[in-house]
Amino acid sequence: MKKYNTSPLSGMQELLPTEQAVFDQLKQNISDVYHHYGFLSIETPIIERTDILLAKAGGDTEKQIYMVSKTAESADSADQALRFDHTVPLARYVVEHNNDLAFPFQVTQINRNFRGERAQRGRFREFYQCDADIIGREKLPIAYDAKVIACIYDALETFKLPKMLIRISNRKVLAGFLKSLNLSEKTSEISNIIDHAEKVPVEKSTAALRELGLSDGQVDKVTAFMFTRGNYEEIEAKLKEIMGNTESVTDGLSELKIVFDILAKKGTGNCIVDFMIIRGLDYYTGTVFEIMLEDYREIGSISGGGRYENLASNFTDQKFPGVGGSIGLTRLFFVLREYNLINIETKQPVDYVILPISKNEYEASFELADKLREQGKTVDVDLSDRKLGDKFNRASKIAKYAAVIGNDEVLSGNYQAKNLKTGEQTPLMLP
Amino acid sequence: MKKYNTSPLSGMQELLPTEQAVFDQLKQNISDVYHHYGFLSIETPIIERTDILLAKAGGDTEKQIYMVSKTAESADSADQALRFDHTVPLARYVVEHNNDLAFPFQVTQINRNFRGERAQRGRFREFYQCDADIIGREKLPIAYDAKVIACIYDALETFKLPKMLIRISNRKVLAGFLKSLNLSEKTSEISNIIDHAEKVPVEKSTAALRELGLSDGQVDKVTAFMFTRGNYEEIEAKLKEIMGNTESVTDGLSELKIVFDILAKKGTGNCIVDFMIIRGLDYYTGTVFEIMLEDYREIGSISGGGRYENLASNFTDQKFPGVGGSIGLTRLFFVLREYNLINIETKQPVDYVILPISKNEYEASFELADKLREQGKTVDVDLSDRKLGDKFNRASKIAKYAAVIGNDEVLSGNYQAKNLKTGEQTPLMLP
């Protein structure tokens, strides 16, 4: 009889061991690629000062933040809360440790964050984010934007997903474009409409633009702009068509061109310029990008990020420009399972289970296990005193192979591994 | 100018990237060995229902627990708090998912826990624990106790520490011994005195025993008992000396013998029976063990654990006996650094930094980087437009080798790697 509700709290991911092994493998894949690109790992505390977390945040974030009450023993003076992303702690970290860091600082954080969002299927309150950021001191060349995009794309490639599409924009292009239309002071409202355009019929977007007081001509141009996508040459031509003279967007366009050139040289996937990509409102100042699955648009973006002019402006007067991106792994894992899109070798967590017939075979079993471990295999030795059938039953739930060790095997030194799926027996090769 | 206090909260570990790389390597080593022994990873939420966390805990734990206040949006009915160890969430997990688990369930959790302890040097409020547990259903043979000890010992062996000592006791022996002295009802007080005996002069322990009302003869016997240590044969003989007839402790002794036999067969390190090992009061019911560094006793135990009769008695009537152990990695890492005992190859986080002379060498640099990555190397390409000297300066802070790529190198295909410590140049071998 259960005495308590033992389910995890709502909004928390909790996996069975075989599922966890897949999740961990995906996380490891991302981490490996980030490291191969030279990103350095850091880990900041999950609990932070509330004033640090809320220095910039407003609205939703404040409502969703988990406050932590200090215990009697740890009566710090500061109010404390759980971090809701990696960016704010990274900003604090860079300011705190900037004298000990080598800039450009290529940094990765793969860890859990917390937001008390409304409960909803596929929405998590505790979730992994896999961030890769490059932080400069004073300045950071635009080429790094391409590096972050290439790195995150390569990380996702290890997932063996169906066709991915990288959509890249640059906020400076939008800013210049709106300036040319004398709409600069409506930038944030228009950005917001573009940001949501993908999810609504086009009439709804144009109606919203008209409501903002745009003339028919302006509505047409903004609409044409936001549907502008293609390779760099295509969009450059299209922009000229819409704007006539593209001088006011030169800066953003030349940044886009550099990013595109590098991605082309690196041979990074399928990239398009796509001015519908906005990535929220306040934060990004240049490059913005999203990666999606071409044939599963309803999933939305599976990763995104961009360039920010100043990481830590809330904490210091020093300037730390940066570019970064993130994979929201907990949500992504959930969605990929829903769509049955996880094709990585879902290896069972254990390679071999060794089944000694009696205590007399323990020594030989341990020796065999150690030899297999030296080969990098994961090996469980079943020491329970249950029937062999029960042991096989357990083994087949967690492992690929089982090896029964009885007196004969010990005497002959001939060990056989049984494939637990096919039943096939093969000799265990030992060095 | 700083606008906020950007230091991490007191009691939180925050490392520089090079230190983090060492910490992560140690964590990875532990994880690898646990997996090689067939332990399956799980991950439970950091936030749990308060009533689950406090079902058993009392006193200190309750004072140290971090309560979490729900946000407006996540207005769950349950009170919530941060977990303070892996054992309570594991108990909940086993009860919740028991129909989907294969017993004996070999499980590992390597993750952060939270306790609001009084601030103190070397004490952490957020800390990694690396747990390995084996949970049975209804029963679990004593041989598994040896398996957990061997596994944790092997994990620590990867740290390349000075001489380790495994100290093993069994609570049933103490129970039987006290029963033979008619002292059963004072078991917890006497356990407490033995538990602290190592840190105080022997007179203080004997005085405490006398205060409990023990006769001189009883005090002598308990004192002799708690200083009983050695290999199994030695302590068996010594116990006979103290007790005459050892029948009342037969059960505990035979368990100790099995554990010792298996560890000997496995060739696991330097083990002794040591009745001074208690490991706290309530929890453990049979085997208890600690691992220490023989020449650094002042550090205290670097790992410990034991057998518990019933993991989840607070949550269910089903019986789940278990045995487990833990490495408190955050504290251990702190202490090992204090004593300068970290001898693992502290590899710089990055293998190669590639330094293209100009944008003309980007393509060749990316190609070279990708080739090195295919060999498993970590490679950073410096795309900043600083002077070459500044780039070398940065590279030497984070990497082992740097490779300058100019026009000559691109044309000839001869790439040289410069060892950033020795200055030595060697040709970069590519497949």
What CA–CA distance (Å, rounded) separates B418 from A146? Answer: 26
Among the three residues A283, A303, A338, which one is the final residue of a domain in this structure? A338
In the predicted structure, residue B208 carries a pLDDT above the cut 60: yes
What pLDDT does residue B61 have? 78
Among the three residues A338, A362, A384, which one is the final residue of a domain in this structure? A338
pTM over 0.80: yes
Q: Cβ distance A13 to A81 under 8 Å?
A: no
Nearest residue in A to B351, CA atom: A38
What CA–CA distance (Å, rounded) separates B48 from B34? Answer: 25
Helix (H/G/I), strand (E/B), else coil: B60:
helix
B390 touches chain A (CB under 8 A): no
Which of A323, A276, A338 shows the shortest CA–CA distance to A301?
A276
CATH assignment of the domain containing A361:
3.40.50.800
Question: What does the pLDDT look like over A330-376, one tens digit per residue?
Answer: 999 999 999 999 988 756 689 999 999 999 999 999 999 999 999 98
Partner-chain contact B49 A316, CB within 8 Å: no
Using a CB-CB distance cutoff of 8 angstroms, which residues of chain A are in contact with residue B65? Answer: 71
One domain, residues A165 and A51: yes
One domain, residues B47 and B110: yes
- Rounded to the nearest 10 degrees, the angle between the axes of helix A171-180 and helix A250-266 is 150
Give the confidence band of B347 by pLDDT, cuts at 50, 70, 90.
low
A428 touches chain B (CB under 8 A): no
Task: Confirm whether B306 is domain-assigned.
Answer: yes
Among the three residues A288, A310, A338, which one is the final residue of a domain in this structure? A338
- For residue B378, the 8-state DSSP code is -
Show the tokens assigned to A377: 């295999």
Other beta carbons within 10 angstroms of residue A362's beta carbon come to: 19
Question: Residues 91-110, chain B: which have Cβ within 8 Å of A?
Answer: 92-93, 95-97, 100-104, 106-107
Partner-chain contact B36 A8, CB within 8 Å: no
Task: Name B306's Cβ contacts closer than 8 Å, sequence gap at least 6.
Answer: B145, B171, B279, B283, B284, B286, B287, B288, B289, B323, B324, B325
One domain, residues A318 and A417: no
What pLDDT does residue A281 have? 61
Task: Confirm whether B376 is domain-assigned.
Answer: yes
One domain, residues A380 and A274: no
| Strands (E) located in A219-321 | 229-230, 271-274, 287-293, 303-308
CA angle A388, A389, A391 (to 5 degrees): 65
Backbone phi, psi, residue A170, to 5°: -145, 120
Partner-chain contact A262 B362, CB within 8 Å: yes
Q: Which residue has the tokens 């689950």?
A: B52
Task: Confirm whether B413 is domain-assigned.
Answer: yes
Task: Confirm whether B51 is domain-assigned.
Answer: yes
Domain tally for chain A? 2
Q: Cβ distance B42 to A20 under 8 Å?
A: yes
| Strand-pair partners of A354 | A381, A403
B177-186: buried (b, 16+ CB within 10 Å) or exposed (e) per residue?
A: bbebbebeeb
Percent of chain B clearing pLDDT 90 (strictly above) = 82
One domain, residues A332 and A373: no
CATH assignment of the domain containing A76:
3.30.930.10
Task: Confirm whether A317 is domain-assigned.
Answer: yes
Mean pLDDT of B305-322: 93
Using a CB-CB distance cutoff of 8 angstroms, which residues of chain A are in contact with residue B97? Answer: 16
Mutate to test the interface with A, among B311, B383, B394 (most CBs of A within 10 A): B383
What pLDDT does residue A55 have? 86
CA dihedral defined by A363, A369, A375, A376, rounded to 10 degrees? -140
One domain, residues A26 and A126: yes
One domain, residues B84 and B150: yes
Using a CB-CB distance cutoff of 8 angstroms, which residues of chain A are in contact with residue B317? Answer: 1, 3
What CA–CA distance (Å, rounded) separates A137 from A35? Answer: 22
What pLDDT does residue B283 have? 80
Mutate to test the interface with A, among B145, B366, B368, B372 (most CBs of A within 10 A): B366
CA dihedral defined by A177, A182, A187, A191, rounded to 10 degrees? -50
A264 touches chain B (CB under 8 A): no
Sheet holding B399-405: strands in order across? B379-381, B350-356, B399-405, B416-419, B425-427
One domain, residues B317 and B390: no
Question: Residues 15-34, chain A: which have Cβ within 8 Å of B?
Answer: 15-17, 20-21, 23-24
Which of A283, A295, A293, A294 shows the shortest CA–CA distance to A325?
A283
One domain, residues A313 and A397: no
What pLDDT does residue A431 have? 62
Partner-chain contact B1 A317, CB within 8 Å: yes
| Strand-pair partners of A48 | A81
Task: Confirm whether A134 is domain-assigned.
Answer: yes
Question: Residues 115-134, chain B: which have Cβ within 8 Å of A?
Answer: 115-119, 125-126
A243 Cα to chain B: minimum distance (Å): 31
One domain, residues B413 and B310: no
| Strand-pair partners of B404 | B355
B209 Cα to chain A: minimum distance (Å): 31
B145 touches chain A (CB under 8 A): no
Partner-chain contact A106 B147, CB within 8 Å: no
Question: What does the pLDDT look like over B131-163, one tens digit per residue?
Answer: 999 999 999 999 999 999 999 999 999 999 999
What CA–CA distance (Å, rounded) separates B179 from B243? Answer: 11
A159 touches chain B (CB under 8 A): no
Q: Cβ distance B289 to B307 under 8 Å?
A: no
In the predicted structure, residue B293 carries a pLDDT above the cut 70: yes
A213 Cα to chain B: minimum distance (Å): 34
One domain, residues A295 and A388: no
Domain residues for the domain of B423 are 350-427
Mean of all residue pLDDT scores within chain B: 92
Question: Residues 311-350, chain A: which have Cβ within 8 Å of B?
Answer: 314-317, 349-350
A302, amino acid identity:
I
| Strand-pair partners of B133 | B107, B324
List the single residue in A47, A48, A266 with the smallest CB-CB distance to B366.
A266
One domain, residues B311 and B391: no
Task: Confirm whether A8 is domain-assigned.
Answer: no
Mean pLDDT of B325-347: 90
- Rounded to the nearest 10 degrees, the angle between the axes of helix B143-157 and helix B250-266 is 40
Question: Residues 47-66, chain B: which have Cβ within 8 Å of A?
Answer: 47-49, 51-52, 55, 63-66
Which residues of chain A, if any, have pLDDT below 70? 1-2, 57-59, 72, 74-77, 281-282, 346-348, 431
What CA–CA distance (Å, rounded) separates A293 from A305? Answer: 16
Using a CB-CB distance cutoff of 8 angstroms, which residues of chain B are in contact with residue A48? Answer: 8-9
| Strands (E) located in A150-212 | 164-170
Helix (H/G/I), strand (E/B), else coil: B418:
strand
Task: Confirm whether A12 is domain-assigned.
Answer: no
What pLDDT does residue B245 have? 75
Which of B275, B265, B262 shows the shortest CA–CA distance to B175?
B275
In the predicted structure, residue B346 carries a pLDDT above the cut 80: no
B187 touches chain A (CB under 8 A): no
Burial of B278 from C-beta contacts in 10 A (0-12 / 13-18 / 19+)? buried
A420 Cα to chain B: minimum distance (Å): 15
Partner-chain contact A349 B382, CB within 8 Å: no
